[in-house]
Chains A and B, each alone.
Chain A
């Protein structure tokens, strides 16, 4: 029996991979529904966006990510856009990453069609311009100078919703979705210098880095990983802004079971480790 237990500490990695595939696939195939505990960071972001006046100052949504983290961040973008469009909040879309540009345009177009929103009137999606923090600084004095053309090459002055938007003072908040430290740059170059409110949507790996900024109020809120997206989906469904939870809630069920598997594996690994030590000691 002890020998059998000691083997738990040395499971073949292929077995671990196979178990992980099973725990991810089964909940995805059978659509297991879950109810999530909404953490303070998600609630903070939701409440801030929910308090933006319809048809007032727009929300700036920056798609600062590449396809590799899209699985985690796309659902957040969709949930936030659904919240905004359902509430009548205008949205300015942009990207500081060359590859994020196409991703953002695809998502904003898709979600705007769900709500019958029109480009240039209810939302604007700007074309990518290189520069990163320079673009952030430039927007502090002139959004038009930083982003002269929208994605479809329409000049800034021909976009009706941009007529009264001059700088950050005319924007309700900036929400940066990123798998890297872009939100940190937004805090420094836009939040601290021009006093615009900043929110973040980050991958689960990056999210813990932002807790100091959440506590100081430099971030109004944050969506952390797939769970953040699932929580936001739950909040907009509960508030009646959207009919059913989206991809994040479904994916989160798969992630939940894979977490349980990892916890079980760690317990088994430790049992195997202690039994092996006991066996070695008795020899």
Chain B
């Protein structure tokens, strides 16, 4: 029962939505609208489970004093602080909550992302070595793309921006399209396996 009911739900809904997608009739549209509303409710419950799981994870880390447990206390403290700030000051433009968001959280997140630029500069200096034919091709492509993006590149030779654009629109796109096809086919195959009950890992490995 525990196994067959979820499998039946997935099979019926999976097949049903494939049919619904290709038959845009009024009843089909009505079913679609109802399911979208249900989906929204499920989304909210999934969010609650996610928050619960995250808090549980950090509480366990603190209680067991595992490596880096101090960061977990900071994290949980920040969560409680932000929740209280939202409850007592509201979340409108001039609220204390929004001030914390604008002047603490946003700059911290921006800083984290900005630091990446330094690591990328250092890493590209170390990694881009013409050790083989493939590495040399990658190096030359990177050179052209980088120089084509900046105004100085066009000043050196007007063809650099066009060459850079061509690299992005032809070889890069061919590779991206291949990857996208692969992902699409993989997702379709996995979905079919789930709908037909062949793939059952989502039920906890039964």
Contact = CB atoms under 8 A, between A and B. Distances in A.
A36 B152 contact: no
Interface in B128-162: 128-131, 139, 142-143, 146-152, 154, 161
A34 B149 CA distance: 12
Contacts, number: 131
Nearest to B177: A212
Q: Indicate the member of A99, A130, A134 with the most B CB atoms within 10 Å.
A: A134
Contacts of A47: none
B121 A256 contact: no
B106 A212 contact: no
Interface in B42-93: 43-44, 47, 93
5 contacts: A17-B118, A37-B154, A262-B121, A263-B147, A265-B124
Contact of B168 (A35, A138, A208): A208
A83 interface: no
Interface residues of B, number: 53
A68 to B, nearest CB: 4
Contacts of A70: 106, 110
Given A34-B151, A105-B93, A211-B169, A258 B121 contact: yes
B5 interface: no
A103 B40 CA distance: 24
A175 interface: no
Contacts of A17: 118, 121-122
A211 B36 contact: no
Which interface class (under 10, 10 to 19, 20 to 34, 35 or more) fits A?
Answer: 35 or more
B125 A265 contact: yes
Contact of B150 (A13, A215, A256): A256
Nearest to B131: A273
A263 B139 CA distance: 10
A141 B29 CA distance: 9
A159 interface: no
A70 B40 CA distance: 28
Contacts of B176: 208-209, 211-212
Contact of A134 (B43, B98, B106, B146): B43
Contacts of B131: 273
A266 interface: yes
B33 interface: yes
